[in-house]
Amino acid sequence: MKALAARRHHRLAPVVLLLLALLATGGVYALLAPSPASADSANVQDIETGKKLFQANCATCHGINAEGSDGVPSLVGVGAAAVDFQVSTGRMPMQMNGPQAIEKPAQFDAEQTAQLAAYVASLGDGPAVPTADQVDPSQGDPASGAAIFRTNCAMCHNAVGAGGALSEGKFAPSLMHTSATNIYQAMLTGPQSMPVFNDANVTPEEKRDVIAYLMEQREGSAGGLTLGGLGPVSEGLWVWVVGLGLLVGAAVWIGAKSS
């Protein structure tokens, strides 16, 4: 103790203390932080195949070790969920440069996608692909989902998820045909212009509620044809086309029968 007391005014003492404090914080964080489930089931074989697929199809842009480059994101730590979202919706591999990567038929089958995801997940921990239970709409509460969707999602995706415009040709896509898993993954990983809604922000249960609300929308409206769910503009268009169209037709018919 005496040696310690003697050196407590040493000019390096603050540095040492700081290092110790950082070490302690980091250690506590590592112990307490929610550890994202990593693809445990992925075996070495999958990772190997995934790596080959990656190098053949993705490395041109993302780099041979997925480290990214100018304008291309690094994939270290994005997790299996991000890979599964991007690849299973066909957004990656990207067809062409544009305001944003657009959806197209998936280029890899489910197995290949899982292998790619396993490889990327092995590069660094990230969110895993959600389980079937996590995305089951029947376990969600659509009323809570509607409230969360209204405050967090509707400003870009429209009130019922019909999609909406962003700046410079970017857009929030329609969610009418997106799979429950993809919706969950999108919230978790925040692809492209979308913000990340992590589990502290929107809990896994709330994410499931949002999915329940969106699935409800696919059943249509109690009022009849939804007209795209786009709101007053499409309603206005239809009143001119159908309403006034039919009535002007009737007026011409009545006017023509003049005697």
Residues 195-234 that bind another protein (CB under 8 A): 213, 216-217, 221-227, 229-234
- Interaxial angle between packed helices 142-152 and 204-217, expressed in degrees from 0 to 180 and rounded to the nearest 10: 100
Q: Are 168 and 160 in contact (CB under 8 A)?
A: no
For another protein, the binding residue among 4, 132, 168, 200 (CB under 8 A) is 168
For another protein, the binding residue among 18, 155, 195, 218 (CB under 8 A) is 155
Q: Looking at 69-77, 122-130, 175-183, 241-249, which segment touches another protein (CB under 8 A)? A: 241-249
Peptide bond into 137 cis (omega under 30): no
Using DSSP, state whether 221 is helix, strand or coil.
strand
Q: Are 186 and 129 in contact (CB under 8 A)?
A: no
For residues 169 to 198, the per-residue mask of contacts with another protein, x marking binding by CB under 8 A and - elsewhere, is x-xx--------------------------
Which sign, positive or negative, has the C-alpha torsion 212, 218, 222, 228?
positive
Q: What is the DSSP letter of 127?
A: P
How near is the Cβ of 209 to another protein at its closest, in Å? 10
End-to-end CA distance of the chain: 118
Q: Residues annotated in the binding site for heme c, as ranges?
A: 58, 61-62, 153, 156-157
Binding positions for another protein, rule: CB under 8 A: 99, 142-143, 145-147, 150-151, 154-160, 162-169, 171-172, 213, 216-217, 221-227, 229-240, 242-244, 246-248, 250-252, 254-256, 258-259
